[in-house]
Amino acid sequence: MENRYNSFVGYFKQKYGCRLQKIVVDAGFTCPNRDGSKGLGGCTFCNNDAFHPNYSTPDKPIRQQLDEGIGFHLNRYRTTEDYLAYFQSYSNTYAPLEHLKELYAQALAHPKVKGIVIGTRPDCVDDEKLDWLAELSKEKIVIVEYGIESCYNKTLQRINRGHNFETAVKAVEATAARGIHQGAHFIFGLPGETREELMGMAPIINSLPINSVKFHQLQIIKGTEMEAEFARCPEDFVQFGLEEYIDFFIDFLELLRPDLYIERFAGEVPPRFVNSSPWGKVRNVQLLQMLHKRLEERDTYQGAKLFCR
């Protein structure tokens, strides 16, 4: 079996006939659990500097970030001609609509940018913003990417998320009702969650009207509140060895609906940001090779056990 899971790269090729590379943009946003409107300090796992490239800093104009990002990716993906501006850092709908229109327009004015990907929180959208994004999506590629992180309210409260899972469900349903492509982000290994609870997220995710999903293993980032929590209570964290995580993810993949696009199954943070590197310096491309090899060895695929439970 050649395609053992539904790759998001394949989605772009199927729908648009070419590869579309994301270029990260930092437009200077913050989050409601940072600025005091819902809390302070942000999510306990988060240090945004660990998750975006050096060319993407809010002191640079959006056009400059895009130009530098395109130059960076040309060295890696020489055949890529078209790009998506990825508003990634913090919550990129957390501003009045008129300000959002101005920022998104700057990105879409770039001749090589065919659309935008908007990373945000489910409590930072409303009907007015979604209505406008639905109209924009008729002319440009628009993808909304919600950070949901966990399906369990006890976890969301513990990591200082500032919203509950019901808020996420409401946001993705409202987005789906408008026909906007949307993805979601989840983390495996947040404190207090058991392996059984992690596996229990699969049917919940299946029930969400999302098009694509990103999964990351939890990485303990230096200087975060979670680093201190991990030092105090390491027994509260499910920790995966590399091969163990590959098998865990395949078990999870077997329970995911086959039409759900998998954008990422593991994360990669520069070593200088993590307090330890239990997997060594393995890169994403190596992780993908390991995943494909293990899927072949187990002769299984996405959704293989979906109807067996």
CATH 1.10.3720.10, domain 8-298, yes or no: no
Amino acid present at 5: Y
DSSP 30-91: --TTTBSSS-BS--TT--GGGGS-TT--TTS-HHHHHHHHHHHHHTT-TT--EEEEEE-SS-
Please give the Cα distance from 107 to 25 (Å, whole number): 9
Cα torsion angle, 87, 81, 20, 114, sign: positive
- Nearest 10 degrees: Cα torsion 116, 96, 168, 156: 110
Closest CA to 96 of 87, 84, 104: 104
Mark the ranges of the chain whose per-residue pLDDT is less than 50: 309
Strands in the chain per DSSP E: 20-25, 82-87, 113-120, 141-149, 181-188, 212-217, 261-264
Query: What is the pLDDT at residue 12?
Result: 77
- Quick: pLDDT tens for 175-230: 999 999 999 999 999 999 999 999 999 999 999 999 999 999 999 999 999 999 99
Amino acid present at 304: A
- Quick: pLDDT tens for 226-249: 999 999 999 999 999 999 999 999
Please give the Cα distance from 33 to 40 (Å, whole number): 5
> Domain-by-domain residue ranges, the chain?
8-298
pTM of the shown model? 0.94
Please give the Cα distance from 27 to 34 (Å, whole number): 16
